[in-house]
Amino acid sequence: MTEEQKRELLELYELRGEEIRKRLLEFKETFQKADDLQVFHELSFCILSSGVGPKIAGQCMRAIGEKLADGKEDELLGRIETIHKYAENVSRYIVFTREYLKEEHGFLLKSLVSSFEDRVERRDFFAKNPGIKGLGYMQASHFLRNLGFSGYAILDRNNLASLSELGIIGETKYPLTKRRYLETESLMTEAAHELGISLDEFDLLLWSRKRKYVPR
């Protein structure tokens, strides 16, 4: 980053920093109050947002409604097929993942997510587990960040574009492998430290830089 770019980001942080810190605190408080179905709601939202974004994912979650807990694949599909570009796939992913979590973990998602002492192992469980469909490293990071867990970069196309514009990375191509994802995340973490803020704050700062608001 150039000194001018650092100044621009710090000025933006001065403008939105309080709102960013408040939002990160809200993520933690939401998880503390959540039950297991609400945690699965967040997981399903992240599955749905892949390839279409949070707005469409939110519409799908509202359409699915009470069927999230026990609806069959065709029931979910019937509710979102006119909304989601990949409705058939994501309906299958959600039901498959739900049944895996019920059979293997008693659907005790809150305890499951909290059980990992190592942050890397926590994300790997959701990103690489064959029982959990539709999540890669970005969506697993999104899921955990929205539950209030710290230290995960959400390398969506907007953040990648910002990182490239700022000279932190050389290209905007999505890091498909774990190694490349972690390398990019490490570069983003270093840039955050240069600014004197956390990775989580930097993540939301970059989002707001492109979208002009802090996500809720």
* C-alpha–C-alpha distance, residues 16 and 13, integer Å: 5
Residue 11, pLDDT score: 95
Residue 92, pLDDT score: 98
CA angle, 101 then 185 then 120, to 5°: 35
Torsion, CA 130, CA 134, CA 136, CA 141, rounded to 10: -110
Residue 216, pLDDT score: 64
Question: Do 100 and 131 meet the contact criterion of CB atoms below 8 Å apart?
Answer: yes
* C-alpha–C-alpha distance, residues 146 and 137, integer Å: 14
Which letter does DSSP use for residue 37 in this model? Answer: H
Q: What is the mean pLDDT of each run of 10 residues along the chain (216 residues)?
A: 94 94 95 96 95 91 97 97 96 98 98 96 96 94 95 91 92 82 94 96 91 74
Residue-range domains of the chain with CATH: 3-29+153-211 (1.10.1670.10), 35-146 (1.10.340.30)
pLDDT tens across 132-191, in order? 999 999 999 999 999 999 999 999 888 999 999 999 998 777 777 889 999 999 999 999
State the sign of the Cα–Cα–Cα–Cα dihedral 86, 124, 25, 204.
Answer: negative
Rg (CA), the chain: 18
* C-alpha–C-alpha distance, residues 73 and 76, integer Å: 5
Q: Where are the alpha helices (DSSP H) in the chain?
A: 3-33, 36-49, 54-64, 73-80, 87-105, 109-114, 119-128, 137-146, 157-165, 178-195, 199-211
Which residues fall within 8 angstroms of residue 173, CB to CB, at 6 or more apart?
A: 160
Task: Burial-class residue 171 by CB neighbours within 10 Å (0-12, 13-18, 19+).
Answer: exposed
